[in-house]
Structure 1
Amino acid sequence: MNGKILNFGEILFRICPDLSQDWIGMGVLPFFVGGAELNVASALATWGLPSAYISAMPQNDITFGVLEHLKAREVNIDHMLLQGGRMGLYYLPKGKDVKHAGVIYDRADSAFANLRRSDIDWQTVFKDVTWFHFSAICPAISQEIADICLDAVKEAKRQNIFVSLDLNYRSKLWKYGKEPIEIMPDLAAYADLIMGNVWAAKQMLGTSLAPEMQEVKPSYPRGLLEEQAKRTSLELVSRFEKCKFVANTFRFDYLEKGIQYFTTFFGREEFLVSEEYLAEEIVDRVGSGDCFMAGLIYGLYQEMQMRDTLEFATAAAFDKLFIASDATDSSVTDIQKRIKR
């Protein structure tokens, strides 16, 4: 392929108070710039591909600093919308009692959340673009954003642009009266590549799930997980005519042995299972799935073999677990060294 890879989504600040310390008294509040689609865009730019990103941000000095940061990472931001009153953010505490704290969103009335369909001329934005990526986090925000996504994928199809969709499910965001199953199938119908996991596919697209696999838990036999991933993949490509590739991730946290991670990839009449990765301790879970998505895009964009694409993407995702930020800063060479042979 050639041409730009355009990513669309909300740019966010992730704020990480350490609950195991007196973070208020110490005046220490670490933060990261990210958002699912920006994490993909940043990874692709780091790996030398023509990566572009579009979002909405308020016009102020904070924004200008972030834009300079993105330029330094060589992410194309030519179509960034400077409007609205605030950037969205969310809190992800670490330290004690994190299990009960969870994610705390503060995204209402952000510049991105207040976007209107008339704000984006997709025909113009898609000039020189050959790949468009977005995630299910976008249509979770509002009906208007869902409609903007639908406008985008329809125009992408008209211009023969490859579309990838990440089935990120965020239950705390779907608050405008619609369930994912009412919105996501219409968007997935325009996707060439759908990535997620078997539970998200059921939740958002209505795929079937084995009766014994209704809950997400790490105790399922490996063979059962692989068979379910294959069934889900075949169901998606059969149901959605445009869908050519389906990828699923499996990441389980074990108290005894840390994290288990492996993935599957279906396309071109092949069903592949990646090598398995294990780690007793990690640094940061955020952005691992985004890094996997970026790895798939990297491989397919460069017309790598499917096996090579899958193993690169899986190693990139696992590698991200050891990086304290939203997006990877590992080079292609770094990731290749981590691939299991």
Structure 2
Amino acid sequence: MLPSVKIISTFNYGKILSFGELLLRICPDTEGNWLKENSLPFYVGGAELNVATALALWGLPSAYFTALPKNMLSEHLISYLQQKKIDTTAVLFQGNRIGTYYLPKGKDLKNAGVIYDRNYSSFAEIKPKTIDWDAVFTGVSWFHFSAICPAVSQNVAEVCEEALKVASAKNIFISLDLNYRAKLWKYGKEPIEIIPKLAQYCDLIMGNIWAANQMLGTGLDENVQEIGTKENYLNHAQKTSEAIIKTYPKCKYVANTFRFGDPGIEYYTTAFTEGKLEVSQEYSAAKILDKVGSGDCFMAGLIYGLYKKLPVKEALGFATAAAYGKLFIESDATTMSADEVFKTIKNE
């Protein structure tokens, strides 16, 4: 049994604030039957909202900060989030558009077929030096965002840095998910020009060895996938984690996910802290239902475990089981309770 996570002892157990763009995910079927049926199913999502939704479901004080236009749709969305026990006090009302994206069920957001419609959304038009961060961070002990936020626009990238400086000065724990969305980085900057400036403020960085290479410039053997062994992947996870913590001394935890297979799945994860790499149980299935939101669920699981002062290996086990379970849920956010997640954790 590992000792309890040291950093948590300094927490005041305040709110966990997730910052990002609320998105409507529209799901046309791949055969085009949506035209005949005159029907397009959709889900409410966005990477950071998926995290906030899971944390609220699991009984933690979850809050969400985004920007929405002031109209009837936004009123419905706010009511929807509040019913899920998400604190929406910080939501900024401005602009005219809610961001959307189109992706068939079962497809991954990295799929070439994903279509984004996020230009000129209320979130994309957030401006620096217009937000009262002292008010936003009232009662907050944890701030979470993802690399999707600074991918939206230069202004949002600057707003992220602005938020991180204030959160860091307030001793708020900061987590970053290294989500890479190539179709979003369209304003003339590459991730490597933006993300390192943000990562320096973070206490927990989650992603995978490929995203870390793309966004933080960590080393990556070009033959890693050709070799394709679990031992080699874990070796890369160790090296990547060590490099991140060395480069960003504020960072205390680095987590990596490994997900392979189509239509099936092989899934395992790692967490690195205090010089030790913890490795999760491996999960596998011949077929899954929906890939969207699995990584967000893993991130939420880590936050849940560390916030609850679980030992790192137990926090990793919870996060991995939650993420794996999400693969069989048809929505952007998980609907599994914390008790259901614990029941699915494999015995060692």
TM-score normalised by structure 2 residue count: 0.93
Aligned identity (percent) is: 56
Is the 8 Å Cα contact of residues 20 and 95 (structure 1) preserved in structure 2? no
CA–CA distance in structure 2, aligned partners of residues 273 and 56 of structure 1: 37
Is the 8 Å Cα contact of residues 191 and 214 (structure 2) preserved in structure 1? yes
Give the structure 2 partner of residue 160 of structure 1: 171
Q: Which amino acid aligns with 1:225?
A: Y
* Alignment partner of 1:272 is 2:278: yes
Tell me by how many angstroms 1:294 deviates.
0.2
Moved segments of 4+, more than 4 Å:
98-101
Give the structure 2 partner of residue 330 of structure 1: 336
Tell me by how many angstroms 1:219 deviates.
6.1
* Alignment partner of 1:121 is 2:132: yes
CA–CA distance in structure 1, aligned partners of residues 192 and 110 of structure 2: 28
Tell me by how many angstroms 1:102 deviates.
1.2
Tell me by how many angstroms 1:335 deviates.
0.4
Seen in structure 2, the aligned counterparts of structure 1 residues 195 and 100 have a Cα distance that, compared at 3 Å, is: closer
Instruction: Report the secondary structure of 1:13's partner residue.
Output: strand
Tell me by how many angstroms 1:198 deviates.
0.3
Tell me by how many angstroms 1:254 deviates.
4.1
1:170-209 maps to which residues of 2 (within 5 A)?
Answer: 170-209=181-220
CA–CA distance in structure 2, aligned partners of residues 22 and 311 of structure 1: 40
Tell me by how many angstroms 1:122 deviates.
1.0
Q: Which amino acid aligns with 2:184?
A: L
Q: Which amino acid aligns with 2:281?
A: E
Is the 8 Å Cα contact of residues 99 and 118 (structure 2) preserved in structure 1? yes
CA–CA distance in structure 1, aligned partners of residues 215 and 233 of structure 2: 19
Instruction: Give 1:247's match in structure 2, choosing from 248, 251, 255.
Output: 255
Tell me by how many angstroms 1:95 deviates.
8.2
CA–CA distance in structure 2, aligned partners of residues 137 and 90 of structure 1: 13
Instruction: Give 1:70's match in structure 2, choosing from 73, 76, 81.
Output: 81
Seen in structure 2, the aligned counterparts of structure 1 residues 99 and 38 have a Cα distance that, compared at 3 Å, is: closer
Tell me by how many angstroms 1:269 deviates.
2.6
Instruction: Give 1:261's match in structure 2, choosing from 267, 284, 303.
Output: 267
Q: Which amino acid aligns with 1:271?
A: L
Q: Deviations over 1:91-147 (max 9, x none)?
A: 002489x99861000000000001111331112211110000000000001111000
Seen in structure 2, the aligned counterparts of structure 1 residues 91 and 272 have a Cα distance that, compared at 3 Å, is: same
Residue range with higher mean Cα deviation, 116-125 or 67-76: 116-125
Tell me by how many angstroms 1:218 deviates.
8.1
Tell me by how many angstroms 1:283 deviates.
1.0
Seen in structure 2, the aligned counterparts of structure 1 residues 282 and 219 have a Cα distance that, compared at 3 Å, is: farther
Tell me by how many angstroms 1:21 deviates.
4.7
Q: Which amino acid aligns with 1:304?
A: L
Q: How many residue pairs are counted as aligned between the two chains?
A: 335
CA–CA distance in structure 2, aligned partners of residues 203 and 229 of structure 1: 14
* Alignment partner of 1:84 is 2:92: no
Give the structure 2 partner of residue 286 of structure 1: 292
* Alignment partner of 1:302 is 2:325: no
Instruction: Give 1:237's match in structure 2, choosing from 232, 245, 249.
Output: 245
CA–CA distance in structure 1, aligned partners of residues 184 and 210 of structure 2: 17
Q: Deviations over 1:155-186 (max 9, x none)?
A: 01100000000000000000010000000000
Is the 8 Å Cα contact of residues 189 and 240 (structure 1) preserved in structure 2? yes
Residue range with higher mean Cα deviation, 265-274 or 81-90: 265-274
Structure 2 unaligned residues grouped into runs of 5+: 1-10
Is the 8 Å Cα contact of residues 249 and 262 (structure 1) preserved in structure 2? yes
Give the structure 2 partner of residue 132 of structure 1: 143
Instruction: Report the secondary structure of 1:140's partner residue.
Output: helix
**Structure number with higher relative contact order (C-alpha < 8 Å, ≥ 6 residues apart):** 2
Instruction: Give 1:29's match in structure 2, choosing from 25, 40, 59.
Output: 40
Seen in structure 2, the aligned counterparts of structure 1 residues 94 and 127 have a Cα distance that, compared at 3 Å, is: closer
Is the 8 Å Cα contact of residues 13 and 90 (structure 1) preserved in structure 2? yes
Instruction: Report the secondary structure of 1:336's partner residue.
Output: helix
Q: Which amino acid aligns with 2:344?
A: R
Tell me by how many angstroms 1:83 deviates.
1.2
Q: Which amino acid aligns with 2:246?
A: S
Residue range with higher mean Cα deviation, 13-22 or 329-338: 13-22
Give the structure 1 partner of residue 8 of structure 2: none
Tell me by how many angstroms 1:189 deviates.
0.3
TM-score normalised by structure 1 residue count: 0.95
Is the 8 Å Cα contact of residues 254 and 260 (structure 1) preserved in structure 2? no
Instruction: Give 2:24's match in structure 1, choosing from 4, 9, 13.
Output: 13
Tell me by how many angstroms 1:19 deviates.
2.0
Q: Which amino acid aligns with 1:234?
A: E
Is the 8 Å Cα contact of residues 105 and 290 (structure 2) preserved in structure 1? no
State the superposition RMSD in angstroms: 1.6
Q: Deviations over 1:199-229 (max 9, x none)?
A: 000000000112312xxx5860110000000
